[in-house]
Structure 1
Amino acid sequence: MIFKSIKPTWLRALPLTLMLSLSSFSAWAKPHVVLVATGGTIAGAGASATNSATYQAAKVPVDDLINAVPQMKDIADVEGVQAFQMASESFTDKELLSLARQVSALVKRDDVNGIVITHGTDTLEETAFFLNLVVHTNKPIVVVGSMRPSTALSADGALNLYDAVVVAAGKDSAGKGVLVAMNDEIQSGRDVSKRINIRTNAFASQWGALGMVVEGKSYWFRQPVKRHTGQSEFNIDDIKGDALPLVQIVYGSDSMIAAPYLAVADAGAKAIIHAGTGNGSVAGYLVDTLKKLRSQGILIVRSSRVPDGFVLRNAEQPDDKYDWVVAHDFNPQKARLLTSLALTKTSDTKELQRIFWEY
């Protein structure tokens, strides 16, 4: 009786077991995940098994990465794309834009359920944050790397990659922005940064992980609240060319001189990220230099070299009076990217400050 309304008549004649199989096909069909490889340590190789910090990055092609972790195929149908084969310290805006366009095209495919991007750890946080701002999708995008090459004892890449596929294939990962899966943790691409350069627990966020992956299952504990991906006002499809407006970082310390600020201004920078001490502090003997640069149309954004906390507006310096911007909780490298993107739309400091609050 349950098949009474099914048409045509030949379908009503099918055996019950086959009908049940057809009706449940979507429930047991594996998700389709595209693995986009860019190089990095996860694709690296050392001279011996004891070389965990001395090795050549970006040596293993994408198909070998997939074949090295056959357990991924129990989770999803995994397709490989070789976007780049390079160490991530050599990434520029050109590579970021190219990768974002490739990912944007992939998530538009109806047969793609999620994306995994293998990446070197040096600039992994920048790439994850950039994609979080410019790729419009609710499909999971997961960036993953490793701190040790696959040839090393206790290599971490295989499990990281497996976990990343688990996250990318999971329906509960949708709508959470670009994610980073490493060391069993699921981090927000907005929040995460590389904090240790030689251990496997290198990536962390002051706001905590979104979740964890344990034995092939994702466990979630919090949601991102800032604008990202589908809610972003920035869209890679609207950005032309292979470069962004030039924004540079000047690192703060004691005994500074004005020359680095003047040099990046002479090089054509549209904005300078001041990676200040403490609360984005500016040395008294540099204030006039930054005020002069602002009067010439160059944006001044106060960030901090301190990894945690956030820069308060009109604290330490009168930002309203000087027409400066504060980077909120973004580290200097992420502040650089957000400022570059903002400059594709506006150079108004009030608008730029709004963008820093909302993203």
Structure 2
Amino acid sequence: MLNRFLSRCLLIAASVVVLPAFAGKPNVVILATGGTIAGAGADAAKSATYQAAKVPVDKLIAGIPALADVAQVRGEQVFQIASESFTNEHLLTLGKRVSALVKQADVDGIVVTHGTDTLEETAYFLNLVVKSDKPIVLVGSMRPGTAMSADGTLNLFNAVNVAASKDARGKGVLVAMNDELNSGRDVSKMVNIKTEAFKSPWGPLGMVVEGKNYWFRLPAKRHTVNSEFDIDQIDALAPVEIAYGHGNVGDTAYRAFAAKGAKAIIHTGTGNGSVSNRVVPALRELRGQGVHIIRSSHVNAGGFVLRNAEQPDDQYDWVVAHDLNPQKARILAAVALTRTQDSKELQRIFWEY
């Protein structure tokens, strides 16, 4: 009897010893889409000359052994592209995969690795359409992994930490770059050659330092679980284009976009979304044909368009983009137009999101 008891104790002890290191830790899925964080160059001294989207997700994960101390991590290669080539179809595919994963009980958080050129657009899209309070964190890098002082490894480690954190729940889609935690709704790429490239005009939500999150503010706009939009009910995004305002601008681009089937045109105006008197007649004509005109601004940080302050928006039946930059305004319009064609409803949506 004593020998049997000792044998059972040894078996129990052995089973405890062989448990994997990540037992009991959160489950985080990394969805890889390419970009600089998966890039490689031939010269370690070159941080801006390289090929994006070369390193597969399994190698990214294997390059950070410390991830096993944070979470049980697995990866999926959704795309392997440079983000300037992202299309509406890529957004829908990625969004539906994120939506499917966050419904699983064995998934606690999602990390999306992404090229920085359109990272802010994807972050805002997911913020609008994924109905979950689980952490969804986008991450990229400004330097390829082969460069000296590459930033991708720490950025990815931080992103996994955040996605595994209970205190990151319910804050909308986040972007973890350069130790900052920004809202996917607000953040934009402001610089193209520095690691502190991503900024929000209203400041970050928090910081992540040595695996710990520090929060300073919460997002005020509707997102994720409080959004009226649902990726599972969207099969195609509305065609929306962006036309850039500048001195001596003409109406050629606006008319061309409308002729190609655009349902809305984001006017990227100077200052307060200003519209040249050379362009106003064309925009009024296009609105009369059913094309929505949405005034945004190309002021780099904090462009804020006031309704009826520069143009009589009520009279012309135009929409203002509030504080959204042109690329984010395009995302919101493309999503909103899947639900309504009413300009007053569109304006409500721009105020609330």
Report the TM-score range of the alignment, normalised by the length of the smaller protein: over 0.9
Residue in structure 1 matched with residue 84 of structure 2 by the alignment: 89
2:244 to 251, 263, 270: 251
The answer to whether residue 330 in structure 2 is matched with residue 356 in structure 1 is no
Distance in 1 between the 2:208 and 2:310 partners? 41
**Residue by residue, what CA displacement relative to the aligned partner does 1:64-108 show, whole Å, maximum 9, x if unpaired?**
000001111100000111100000000000000000001001101
One-letter identity of the residue aligned with 1:274: H
The answer to whether residue 41 in structure 2 is matched with residue 41 in structure 1 is no
What TM-score do the two structures reach when normalised by structure 1?
0.92
The answer to whether residue 297 in structure 2 is matched with residue 304 in structure 1 is yes
Residue in structure 2 matched with residue 185 of structure 1 by the alignment: 180
Residue in structure 2 matched with residue 11 of structure 1 by the alignment: none
2:201 to 206, 227, 250: 206
- Residue 71 of structure 1 aligns to a residue in which SS? helix
* Structure 2 unaligned residues grouped into runs of 5+: 1-8, 17-22
Task: Give percent identity, aligned residues only.
Answer: 68
Post-superposition offset of 1:48 = 1.3
Post-superposition offset of 1:117 = 0.4
Distance in 1 between the 2:220 and 2:314 partners? 27
Distance in 1 between the 2:273 and 2:176 partners? 30
One-letter identity of the residue aligned with 2:168: S
Matches within 5 A, 1:162-311: 162-240=157-235, 243-307=236-300, 308-311=302-305
Post-superposition offset of 1:181 = 0.1
Q: Does the Cα contact within 8 Å between 2:41 and 2:146 map onto a contact in 1?
A: yes
1:327 to 313, 316, 321: 321
One-letter identity of the residue aligned with 2:180: E
One-letter identity of the residue aligned with 2:179: D
Distance in 2 between the 1:51 and 1:94 partners? 33
Post-superposition offset of 1:311 = 0.3
The answer to whether residue 54 in structure 2 is matched with residue 59 in structure 1 is yes
Distance in 2 between the 1:221 and 1:245 partners? 36
Distance in 2 between the 1:214 and 1:340 partners? 36
Distance in 1 between the 2:186 and 2:50 partners? 29
What TM-score do the two structures reach when normalised by structure 2?
0.93
Distance in 2 between the 1:350 and 1:342 partners? 12
**Residue by residue, what CA displacement relative to the aligned partner does 1:217-253 show, whole Å, maximum 9, x if unpaired?**
111111111100011111000012xx31110000010
Post-superposition offset of 1:309 = 3.5
1:109 to 104, 115, 120: 104
- The runs of 4+ residues in structure 1 deviating greater than 2 Å are none
Q: Does the Cα contact within 8 Å between 2:303 and 2:325 map onto a contact in 1?
A: no
Distance in 1 between the 2:250 and 2:218 partners? 42
**Residue by residue, what CA displacement relative to the aligned partner does 1:152-181 show, whole Å, maximum 9, x if unpaired?**
000000000000001000000000000000
- Residue 284 of structure 1 aligns to a residue in which SS? coil
- Residue 34 of structure 1 aligns to a residue in which SS? strand
Q: Does the Cα contact within 8 Å between 2:266 and 2:295 map onto a contact in 1?
A: yes
- Residue 309 of structure 2 aligns to a residue in which SS? coil
Post-superposition offset of 1:275 = 0.2
One-letter identity of the residue aligned with 2:114: H
Q: Does the Cα contact within 8 Å between 2:43 and 2:146 map onto a contact in 1?
A: yes
Distance in 2 between the 1:272 and 1:183 partners? 33
Distance in 1 between the 2:211 and 2:331 partners? 33
- Residue 125 of structure 2 aligns to a residue in which SS? helix
1:145 to 137, 140, 144: 140
Post-superposition offset of 1:29 = 1.4
Aligned-pair RMSD on alpha carbons? 1.5
One-letter identity of the residue aligned with 2:244: Y
Distance in 2 between the 1:219 and 1:70 partners? 24
**Residue by residue, what CA displacement relative to the aligned partner does 1:267-295 show, whole Å, maximum 9, x if unpaired?**
00011000000000001121111100000
Distance in 2 between the 1:295 and 1:144 partners? 42
Distance in 1 between the 2:179 and 2:265 partners? 36
One-letter identity of the residue aligned with 1:129: Y
Distance in 2 between the 1:215 and 1:131 partners? 27
The answer to whether residue 60 in structure 2 is matched with residue 68 in structure 1 is no
- Residue 226 of structure 1 aligns to a residue in which SS? coil
One-letter identity of the residue aligned with 1:171: K
Aligned length, in residue pairs: 335
Q: Does the Cα contact within 8 Å between 2:304 and 2:324 map onto a contact in 1?
A: yes
Distance in 1 between the 2:321 and 2:251 partners? 21
* Structure 1 unaligned residues grouped into runs of 5+: 1-13, 22-27
Q: Does the Cα contact within 8 Å between 2:271 and 2:303 map onto a contact in 1?
A: no
Residue in structure 1 matched with residue 19 of structure 2 by the alignment: none
